[in-house]
Amino acid sequence: MGLERLIVKGAEEHNLKKVDIDIPRDKLIVITGLSGSGKSSLAFDTIYAEGQRRYVESLSAYARQFLGQMEKPKVEYIEGLSPAISIDQKTTSRNPRSTVGTVTEIHDYLRLLYARVGIPHCPICGKEIKSQTVDEIVDQVLELPERTKIQILAPIVRGRKGEHERTFLQAQRDGFVRARVDGETILLEEAEKLDKNFKHDIEIIVDRLVVKDGIRERLADSVETALEYAEGLVMIDQIDGEITTYSEKFACPEHNISLEEMSPRMFSFNSPYGACDNCDGLGVKKEFDPDLILDKEKSIADGGIIPWASSSSRYYPALLEAMAEEYDFSLETKIENLDDQILEKLLYGDNKKITFPYTNRYGKTRDHTTRFKGITGYLTERMDKSDSPGTHKRMERYMNEIPCHVCHGQRLKPEVLAVTVGGISIAKFSSFTIKEAHEFIAGVELDDRRTKIGKEILKEVRERLRFLLDVGLDYLSLDRSAGTLSGGEAQRIRLATQIGSGLMGVLYILDEPSIGLHQRDNNRLISTLEHIRDLGNTVIVVEHDEDTIRSADYIIDMGPGAGKHGGEIVAEGSLADIIEEERSLTGQYLSGKKKIQVPADRYPAGEKWLSIKGARQHNLKSIDVDFPLGTFTCVTGVSGSGKSTLINNTLKRKMMRELHDSTLHPGEHDEVQGMDQIDKVINIDQSPIGRTPRSNAVTYTKVFNYIRDVFASTPEAKQRGYEIGRFSFNVKGGRCEACKGQGIEEIEMHFLPDVYVPCDVCNGKRYNRETLEIKYKGKTIADVLDMTVEEAVEFFENIEPIRRRLQTLYDVGLGYIRLGQPATTFSGGEAQRIKISKELGKRSTGETLYLLDEPTTGLHFADIKKLLEVLHRLREDGNTVIVIEHNLDVIKSADYLIDLGPEGGEKGGEVVATGTPEEVAQNENSYTGKFLKEVL
């Protein structure tokens, strides 16, 4: 029986109340329930933690010290446990070097492919580069027509300035008689100094021959001598005919560029062998941004170089005049009309020596010689030399993370980018979406030899791309930075990687993989989960998505409430069993007894609008988008259609820059109109509210200041002279110094898990004895931190600033959290709602713009109902709420919709439909409209 079921007995982790459950194995199981009801505590903190711990325990003590120890979860026992793999939302790499390609290992296979079957080209002239042996060169020479007169030349100087006197002397010593200098044949003993101001070509004449039978041996010796003398190059000059250059290295015979033997590390932007030297393989660099330095509608004479426009320096104007003369352009020409090459030299310099008359501040004029470093070079120099924070801050206004101007954002060295497979470079391949890459690999044509070598590698790449297509990620490009992926996308990438591993007999635990997925793509995700199950694995999914719940083989519904009111199993079994159970809130929503009603009336779009014109970042197609102010607007569209680019990268950054002096650069667009009608922007995302256990909900929402004030105002505290700081556990004075106000002590156990025990001085209360003698309504400050929000609302009902702020925490569905609960224990959804409550607790100005990205993550149907009430409250105060969302209950409750699409990636980025939900539902071209029709 143990093999057929996973048995959990007496689970008490977090808020679980001695939970006993038998879970069928090799099935798709969904755990659902209210936010905070104990779903993650059961799935991740109990089942997964125990599976992981048992695996680590089975290793040697030596190996265990590197893996970190896992604490035993609070559970009596678990039987029938398989090796467990968890795929949650928090584990994407934020490293700028991680991309979709590197995370999925596709990039590793591509590097191998390009190293083994790539064709190198010269990055300057684009000609194919081949390496040839002496025999191959001799064979090609002997194919020339009989009686052809040839010279074998060793090119030792190519396009280099100098007198080259020593070069001629050395060649003479080495036994050579003649050379060719700049096309003229001379005797070495008569060679004179060359003009050092001009570039020269010098080839030593190694031998002269006539093509005929019997010369192979002499020809081979001469070719070998020339190759050795000219470091791998030889020129065959057909007298009165053409000259051919051969190379025994991967080198361009025309340009002095050679490749080392091609190896996979050459194609890695994380290796010094392949990474672009300017940006170290990041593709971007914080540099002076030409768009911020130049006012292209002005000429240079009119102050078009913004940092220098108000400068009183006479140096730069004189320098620019000399540049204009040198390169033959006018300082009166508008910058936008200057030639691109001139602009490139002006911005980045060309290190050319330039002499110009310069009058210093004392009125003395003299000739000044310098190498021109370019505008960005002079600005960088000024910033490096200055210690003034003011100068740095002023200069940073002109800086931005921009694509590296050497590799143009492609991360690799020019010679690496010139290697192609099927006619495209590895960087070009990486810029394809997964769908385009899959199509390219399917149709790539190689010659017989390369097909044989590359067959297995291509198969691996093709399979990995197919798994990514199956989880609905066709729109992502392989060079997309891993840090920009949503939680759902990152999870689905890891899911695809797991399918690729083909394991069976494993327990997979997933946390809401449907986040960020449009209803249209849901079926593909569910098929993937079923595919993993059918391989012979048990799949446990913590999920609120209705389609996924309905597709499960077995459902576990946690509840009945959240926090201390949850932690029990309300219902378990098939879909029918859940619907029949009267206590199950999930069942009531699934059966339709309870539902989120369509609002009776919507706020109509008025006269005031916020408009983005010409948005064209990433895949946006120069679109104009209008948001009605004072309403609740939802931005919808399939995954990858451009929602985040439009809202997070363009609108949010532009508004933050204008209203809050942010240094983040907005995505490309023409302008944003209507910003004068907004007084502040508040972005409410799912990032953690604190990185340390010292941060909690009341410190974040600033309620704790008022609570400390209450304790400092008690007669006893005043009598003792205690100020508000006395009641902080972060500073010396009132806190327990044994544990520094943490309440717990970490005891290092080396080969066993580190143990966290309550501090034995303060018994986990965080404060010293004197501070805890101060009481308000019979409770100490430690007792208050241990209360839930629900209890605290009642306790502080007479103190308006505290009650109002705690009430908003309760209103957003967080009545169950403890006031002192560490911020590190909150889920993404809880963190987002704490942020919303912080904003709700402030006095509204009625002119605030609230931006939210998928606020329903981690929320049950009943929680979504509460969230909508809160969003409607913000709107009723006259504010504007813009939400990116896939959840149909939220979409149908909005006043106005903007649907992007029609597809993801390159086929997206357009406005498909706008209007009320009813209007969008009637639009035949909108996928969102199609699903919306069913719920309205």
Same domain, 87 and 52: yes
37 labelled ligand-binding = yes
Please say if the pLDDT value at position 616 is more than 90: yes
Q: Who has greater pLDDT, 607 or 132?
A: 607
| 643 labeled binding residue | yes
Among the candidates 591, 615, 648, a domain finishes at 591
For 659-701, the pLDDT digits (tens) are 998 878 899 999 999 999 999 999 988 777 887 788 999 999 9
* Residues 777-799, mean pLDDT to the nearest whole number: 97
DSSP 125-193: T-PBP----HHHHHHHHHTSPTT-EEEEEEEEEEEEES--HHHHHHHHHTT--EEEETTEEEEGGG--P
- Whole-angstrom distance, CA of residue 283 vs CA of residue 55: 40
Task: Quote the pTM value.
Answer: 0.80
Domain of residue 722, CATH code: 1.20.1580.10
pLDDT of residue 2: 47
Distance CA 293, CA 375 (A): 9
One domain, residues 88 and 146: no
From 534, 567, 591, the end of a domain falls on 591
pLDDT at 749: 65
Tens of pLDDT, residue by residue over 245-289, are: 888 888 787 776 777 778 999 999 999 889 999 999 999 998 898
Give residue 254's pLDDT: 76
Per-residue pLDDT at 646: 97
Q: Check which CATH number belongs to the domain holding 538 and give it.
A: 3.40.50.300
687 is in an annotated binding site: no
Is 34 within any annotated ligand binding site?
yes
Task: State whether residue 46 is helix, strand or coil.
Answer: helix
Task: Please check if 388 is assigned to a binding site.
Answer: no
User: Domain check: are 711 and 819 in the same one?
Assistant: yes
662 and 731 share one domain: no
User: Is there a domain that residue 415 lies in?
Assistant: no
CATH of residue 205: 3.30.190.20
Q: What is the DSSP letter of 598?
A: P
Residue 468 falls inside a structural domain = no
Residues 847 and 817 in one domain: no
Angle at 247 between CA 241 and CA 253, to 5 degrees: 60
- What residues pair up with 31 in beta bridges, in sequence order? 542, 556
702 assigned binding-site residue: no
**Same-domain pairing of 350 and 499:** no
274 in a structural domain: no
pLDDT confidence tier of residue 500, bands split at 50, 70 and 90? confident
- Does residue 638 have a known ligand-binding role? yes
Backbone φ and ψ for 627, nearest 5 degrees, come out as -110, 125
Helices (H), 331-432: 340-348, 375-385, 389-396, 414-417, 426-431
Which of 65-74, 220-229, 845-854 bottoms out in mean pLDDT, i.e. has the lowest? Answer: 65-74
682, 700: one domain: no
For residue 936, say whether it is annotated as part of any ligand binding site. Answer: no
Backbone angles phi, psi at 106, to 5 degrees: -65, -35
Cis previous bond, 357, omega within 30: no
Is residue 560 domain-resident?
A: yes
303 labelled ligand-binding: no
Domain that holds residue 306: 284-403
pLDDT at 1: 41
Structure-block tokens of residue 199: 């570039």
Tell me whether residue 111 is in a domain: no
Check whether 503 is labelled as a binding-site residue: no
Distance CA 840, CA 299 (A): 49
500 is in an annotated binding site: no
Q: Indicate if the pLDDT at residue 485 is higher than 90.
A: no
Spatial neighbors of 771 by CB under 8 A, at least 6 apart, are 722, 726, 727, 734, 735, 780, 781
203 lies in the same domain as 162: yes
> What single-letter DSSP state applies at residue 314?
S
Task: Single out the residue in 371, 403, 435 at which a domain terminates.
Answer: 403
Residues 819 and 697 in one domain: yes
Q: For residues 583 and 570, is the Cβ–Cβ distance under 8 A?
A: yes
- Tell me whether residue 637 is annotated as binding: yes
| 197 and 291 both lie in a single domain | no
Is 644 annotated in a binding site? The answer is: yes
The answer on pLDDT for 327 being more than 80 is yes
Distance between CA atoms of 446 and 157, rounded to whole angstroms? 38
Number of domains in the chain: 5
- What percentage of the chain reaches a pLDDT higher than 70? 98
Is 447 within a domain?
no
Query: Are 490 and 555 members of one domain?
Result: yes
Same domain, 684 and 833: yes
36 is in an annotated binding site: yes
